[in-house]
Structure 1
Amino acid sequence: MERSYSSEKIFLHYDMDAFFASVEQRDNPQLKGIPIAVGFGVVTTANYEARKFGVKSAMPTVTAKKLCPNLKLLPVRKNYYSNIGKEIQGLIKKFTNKYEFTSIDEGYIDITEFVKTDNIEKFIIKFKKYIFKNVGLTCSVGIGFSKVSAKIASDINKPDNYFIFYNREQFLEYIKDKNLSLIPGIGKKTREQLKLFNIFTVSELYKVEKRELIKKFGESRGEYLYNVIRGIQYSDIDNNRKRQSYGHEITFNQSMNDILELQDELKIQAEKLSKRLKENKEFAKTVTLKIRYSNFVTYTKAKTLKFAVDDTEYIFNSAMENFRLLKKKDEVKLIGIHLSSITKSNIIQLSFNELKK
């Protein structure tokens, strides 16, 4: 393999290994070496021992237990995991300001200034030891000439390992026969559209001309599809990236049939979301209600307001409007509110009744 690095920039992508499950194993050594999953009703995270049995995220826990009868199920401690994620982010902020966190357990770092052509692996090992020493958790690392290539690289040798794309040619050789699901930014909806044209792999998409992709997907999306599989999709680190959404949800231990209790829960969630918006001096324009029933069918209903808001009553009333539109309001296993179209604009807010006009 060619080990020289010709790229002007070198990006590192870190991804904490089975984050929620790893935290639980760290805190309780008796869980080490056995298959565990975090979640109630639906698997949120499964450790690697459980994944060997086919257990994966978003799978009903009933199915997971059938695949792995010895599976240990643990409740979700979302706030606790979030605090640990922030601790990891704080460690990274101590040595660089060129970071971009995409979730509580993963992110990008521009390591160009730290790395010379002969010490990339040395830096990776130091980085992994630094994280483990301070939080007792392992991570997988990818190195690339772009954020996309670094992201793909971090998935190659999971868990607790690393992979390096030294150049664009090596990257293109690796992805050419892979399914399009490997590529960040090519989601399920896009892949469904491409299936209509019998396009499933990177090499098949490579044959489509740029003008055809732009015609089918629009200029921005079409150019992304064309560029990303050719290794020419570049973007810089953005540590001022605006939060895209806020959310809060709860999974009940047993099916909830009391409408008034569901209403009270939505009010509590609206209060928490309002507090978070105000702390960050942000406003939301779209309020989405998420609900999952005991049969695991999930529905979402969104309401876009005329003005961005941050007040509890606006959020709660919007969620309740969505709730009233639901035909089924019993056998509820999960309910939550998600806010999107986040803005910093402090627009004068009208009353809720005025917003509906």
Structure 2
Amino acid sequence: MKEEFPQTAAPAPGNRPSRPPAGEAPARPLPLEPWEGSAILLVDLDAFFASVEQLDHPAWRGKPVIVGGDADKHGVVSTASYEARPYGVRSAMPSSTARRLCPDAIWTHGRFDRYREVSNAIMAILRSETPHVQQVSIDEAFLDVTPTVVNREHPVRVAQRIQRRVEELGVTCSIGAGTSKTIAKIASDMDKPRGLTVVYPGSERDFLAPLPVRVMSGIGASAEEKLKSRGIRTLGQLADADLRMLERVFGKLGRVMHVRANGGDDAPVEQDDAVKSVSNEMTFATDLTRREDVEAAIATMAAKVGRRLRRKGLRGRTLALRVKFDDLSVRSVQRQLPRPSDDELAYTPLLYAMVDEVWRPGTPLRLIGVGMSGFSEEGVVQESLFDVAEAAPSADDVEPVVRDERKRRGLIEATDLVKDRFGEAAVRFGHELRNEENTTGSSSKNPADYK
């Protein structure tokens, strides 16, 4: 296998592993450099949704496959197979653009239950390698495989074994290995598909220096432009930049960026149960302009979030609403609840009031999202789920759908029981049916959905 010859991001002269010519059997793995200190892996499943489709449909293998929404209904590409990518097709691209670039591609809306099934099997493999696993999406996870006194196995050998075991399930993964989550994440994108990029301890600065600043998590388009305006285009330039200037421009983020650009990052691999938010959003094939349609969509999203909260045993204090308009601009609003809640019958009317802060009837809406966060101890306010600045009106002015709390809980529990036994579609409310045919068919990689 390709991974028997791990790439080293910053090898010593004359020590770069090579791969055998195509068709030849792999030679014995080359000796590995000693590893001292922390070891983090980022396992990234290659074109995951499309790979599962090709696994289940042998006739699709070797052909361009696109998983996404309808091109004539505001759909977007969820995943494109590697055969589709030479045509310029990428994730999050409008489906209409992807269809123009690759007219002969095989299209599918996707089957999220199947993707979750394969993902769960892969995550079980990862947890059998180490208990220190942090799943960050349906197709990505961090692992802490730092050698210990008890287990001195080399991190690269662990990564190679993971790749072999994942491939036995019929899909592939690319892995980045480094001393931190930042290094591992960047390294995982260097060699796809089926790549293994290793950044040995002490070589972090050399690995990062030539890379553009945008490859680092946390540096978006706005931060990139601010850095470029100050002559900072690479991570090496960022590492050498004046820390006081960065803090003046970016605040606390400036110090974080500087530390990471220098190869430092002590963020731990958190356990999977450290859920920070639960959210759901819907993109519409036809923009919504009437209030009754908007409220129906909000109620649908709120119910999905409430059910997920209850299944995870969570109650949140921070309720958030996000909308996207037809010009693709986005507005968000959030509200701190008086007490933690997982009860959509209590907080849905509050969402109806919150939407007035960001939308007026007649203005076309393309997307609506509802989220809940703030699962920390009571009285501690968590940072905004959607990065918003202003809060909505007071909850004291809003009545729950059912005023009697015992009746509300009884209705919710009865509905959950029916859905647990007969499936999510067993109980359908009017608001759910209202927009049922007005979706794009796009599949989501929302972290809230993967468990």
**Fold equivalence (TM over 0.5):** yes
CA-CA distance at 1:232 after TM superposition: 1.9
Between the aligned partners of 1:48 and 1:335, the Cα distance in structure 2 is: 31
CA-CA distance at 1:252 after TM superposition: 4.1
Change (3 A) 1:255 1:12: same
Amino acid at match of 1:247: S
Determine if contact 1:266/1:316 at 8 Å carries over to the other structure. Answer: yes
Between the aligned partners of 1:299 and 1:76, the Cα distance in structure 2 is: 26
Say yes or no: does 1:245 pair with 2:287: no
Between the aligned partners of 1:139 and 1:202, the Cα distance in structure 2 is: 26
Gaps of 5+ in 1: none
Between the aligned partners of 2:347 and 2:115, the Cα distance in structure 1 is: 26
- Given the two structures, how large is their TM-score scaled by the length of structure 2? 0.69
Deviations 1:6-56 (A, max 9, x none): 431222110001111112221222222222222211112212122211111
Match of 1:277 in 2: 309
CA-CA distance at 1:242 after TM superposition: 2.5
Change (3 A) 1:331 1:224: closer
CA-CA distance at 1:312 after TM superposition: 0.4
Say yes or no: does 1:303 pair with 2:334: yes
Match of 2:386 in 1: none
Deviations 1:269-324 (A, max 9, x none): 2122112212323233333334445x562533222224343210343223322434
RMSD (Å) for aligned C-alpha atoms: 2.9
Between the aligned partners of 1:64 and 1:309, the Cα distance in structure 2 is: 41
Between the aligned partners of 2:351 and 2:108, the Cα distance in structure 1 is: 29
Determine if contact 2:322/2:368 at 8 Å carries over to the other structure. Answer: yes
Match of 2:44 in 1: 15
Amino acid at match of 1:18: A
CA-CA distance at 1:140 after TM superposition: 0.4
Change (3 A) 1:99 1:212: same
Gaps of 5+ in 2: 1-10, 13-31, 70-74, 381-393, 400-451
Match of 2:236 in 1: 203
Say yes or no: does 1:151 pair with 2:185: yes
Q: Secondary structure at the match of 2:131?
A: coil
Runs of 4+ in 1 over 6 A off after TM superposition: none
Match of 2:78 in 1: 44
CA-CA distance at 1:330 after TM superposition: 6.7
Match of 2:260 in 1: 228
Amino acid at match of 1:224: V
Amino acid at match of 1:175: L
From 46, 64, 69, the counterpart of 2:103 = 69
Amino acid at match of 2:68: G
Match of 2:158 in 1: 123
Match of 1:319 in 2: 351
From 202, 217, 239, the counterpart of 1:184 = 217
Q: Secondary structure at the match of 1:49?
A: coil
Match of 2:142 in 1: 108
Match of 2:132 in 1: 98
CA-CA distance at 1:355 after TM superposition: 6.7
Q: Secondary structure at the match of 1:338?
A: strand
Amino acid at match of 2:331: T
Say yes or no: does 1:339 pair with 2:372: yes
Match of 1:87 in 2: 121
- Given the two structures, how large is their TM-score scaled by the length of structure 1? 0.86
Q: Secondary structure at the match of 1:276?
A: helix
Say yes or no: does 1:354 pair with 2:354: no
Determine if contact 1:282/1:344 at 8 Å carries over to the other structure. Answer: no
Between the aligned partners of 1:44 and 1:346, the Cα distance in structure 2 is: 38
Q: Which has the higher contact order (CA 8 A, sep 6+)?
A: 2
Deviations 1:307-356 (A, max 9, x none): 34321034322332243441355765543323333435499xxxx84177
Determine if contact 1:301/1:322 at 8 Å carries over to the other structure. Answer: no
Determine if contact 2:37/2:147 at 8 Å carries over to the other structure. Answer: no
Q: Secondary structure at the match of 1:143?
A: strand
Between the aligned partners of 1:175 and 1:127, the Cα distance in structure 2 is: 25
Change (3 A) 1:84 1:321: farther
Change (3 A) 1:148 1:136: same
